[in-house]
A = this chain, B = another copy of it.
């Protein structure tokens, strides 16, 4: 396999994986492009390498910054903005976990709290209440587990335990 074939395969595979997890194909592809680039890239570079429009490149680069997994790099004497990816895969995973928790888990918990105020009798209500209680328990545990992992770097036990995994 040549370098170009390898790069193409990575961009494809990462784009596919992303879209299966609700991240747009292009966003994932820009991410792996930056992750495997030895130098920061400009919007133009990204447009050219992925053959996408300026608007698309710009929008997805901004979104990636919003997720906190790439950053702008300013170069002295250069007008253009360069972008580079966070290289620590563990940090990227934790950053994504943190964002998804905030954007998804927290709204879900709010709905579950709302729904648990339903009152009344009968098997329908009993079953719904039970299901909501279980989902809340699970969501709260996931929430806490994520917090623990996110804070692992500041935490001796988990910090050392998780080092094994990195």
A interface with B by C-beta (< 8 Å):
1-3, 5-7, 9-10, 13, 17, 19-22, 32, 35-39, 87, 89-90, 93, 100, 103-104, 107-108, 111-112, 114-115, 117-118, 120, 123-128, 131-132, 134-135, 137-138, 141, 145, 165-166
Contacts and interface: CB of A to CB of B under 8 A. Distances in A.
Contacts of A21: 21-22
Given A108-B17, A115-B10, A37 B127 contact: yes
A104 B20 contact: yes
Given A22-B19, A165-B145, A166-B141, A38 B124 contact: yes
Chain A interface mostly helix, strand, loop or mixed?
A: helix
Given A6-B114, A17-B108, A36-B127, 11 more contacts: A1-B115, A3-B125, A5-B118, A6-B128, A9-B114, A9-B115, A13-B112, A20-B103, A37-B124, A89-B134, A93-B138
A38 B127 contact: yes
Contacts of A107: 13
Contacts of A13: 107-108, 111-112
Q: How many copies does the complex hold?
A: 2
A124 B89 contact: no
Residue from A17, A127, A131, A165 whose CB has the most chain B CB atoms within 10 Å: A131
Contacts of A7: 128
B38 A126 contact: yes
A1 B129 CA distance: 13
A13 to B, nearest CB: 4
14 contacts: A1-B115, A1-B117, A2-B118, A6-B115, A6-B118, A13-B112, A20-B22, A20-B104, A21-B22, A36-B132, A38-B124, A87-B134, A89-B137, A89-B138
